[in-house]
Amino acid sequence: MKPQWITILLNRTKIIYGFTITIWYLTQFIGAVAVINLYSDDDRLKPCSATGTLSDPDESSKVLDLPLLLLAIFHMIEWIRYTVLLTVVCIGTNISILYYIGAPNTLYGLIAYGITHIVYFSDDGKMCGEEQPDRYSWLLIEIIAFWVLYFFYIFPFVFTMCRGKAKAYQTLLDWKNAVGEDDDEEEEEK
């Protein structure tokens, strides 16, 4: 769907899209702040093991650092994308093309969450989870949030499809008629 039509549909159905996009916007903001905080947490330097490579604090830190870093990047990009989309919904500016430009972040998110799953359930991940419980617990929260929210919010336009083509067409037609009336009023004033 063309960006200008999406702008009109989103702006004309502010309650539905405003509510759902705000929830995802806040989720991404909280996710970014939490992951960045945990990435630099003091616990990251606790050795995960008394012997072996994970007895070195730097090596222990690397186990959970990668998924936290990948998730931080994902959350920040999604937060920016949904800031743009929320601006489109609330103000009606036709900048939804910027949202579409960030679409590859969806695939990146799948990769980031895949790596998070792998690290969380790995032996090294479990071992570091005992010594770095906050960081490990947050990865579990991220995994749960992924399965609960990711596919629902990654496609915000599902609501438009669920409402049907006729309703979308009617919304665009109503907009066109409203714009036409505004143009007629401007011509009468001249």
**Backbone phi and psi for residue 132, each to the nearest 5 degrees, phi listed first:** -125, 65
Band of residue 81 on the pLDDT scale cut at 50, 70, 90: very high
Sorted by where each begins, the domain ranges of the chain are 3-156
Residue count (the chain): 190
What pLDDT is recorded for position 86? 92
Q: Considering only CA atoms, which of 106, 114, 123 is closest in space to residue 142?
A: 114
pLDDT digits (tens, 9 = 90+) for 86-131: 999 999 888 988 988 999 999 999 999 999 999 999 999 999 999 9
